[in-house]
Amino acid sequence: TDGSKFYSSLSSVNQNYQAQTLTPSVEVANEDYNDDGLNDVIILKITLPATPSTVRSIDILLGLDYELLQIGKLSMPSGVFISFQSGTGITSIESVGDIMLTQREPVYPKYTKRYLYNTENLAGLIEGRTFSELYDYYQLRNQ
């Protein structure tokens, strides 16, 4: 093999990569800076059980279930792809960004929740797909 390792927080996805699975320590914290009851920042800390000098690249695909609850009820499973490479090894990384909704069509007020992309939750979207299939799916969907 090429030495690649893999991990997902969904055990059903890890089954696709049993020989390459490397289980990290994962910590998640949410911050609400303006006390409005909504998360403003998500802090994700991943600690790998590996020597930092041997880690040459990290690809992260984060899955989010984003919901709009005012005016109309809308559930939108989304993905964020982050990739880092280093010739000398990676000891830590930081990525800062915003999640933005680009409206392609009107969202009309409804009393029932609508789901984008014909799926009711992110786990249903991920089931049975490999990492590269998920990456390709999000690339095509966002064109």
Burial letters 66-105, b for 16+ CB under 10 A, else e? eeeeeeebbbbbbbeeeeeeeeeebeeeeeeeeeeeeeee
Cut 0.75: pTM above it = no
Q: What is the DSSP string of 31-46?
A: E-TT-SSS-SEEEEEE
Residue 8 CB neighbour total at 10 angstroms: 18
Instruction: Measure the CA–CA gap between 29 and 39, rounded to whole angstroms.
Output: 10
pLDDT at 15 (0 to 100)? 78
Q: Which two tokens stand for residue 45?
A: 């800390």
pLDDT at 111 (0 to 100)? 55
DSSP-assigned letter for residue 17: G
pLDDT at 1 (0 to 100)? 43
Instruction: Measure the CA–CA gap between 37 and 29, rounded to whole angstroms.
Output: 14
Digit-by-digit pLDDT tens for the chain (143 residues) are 467 887 877 777 777 777 888 888 888 888 899 998 878 888 888 888 888 888 888 888 777 777 776 666 666 777 777 888 888 888 888 887 777 666 666 666 655 555 555 554 566 666 667 777 777 877 776 66
SS3 state at 60: strand
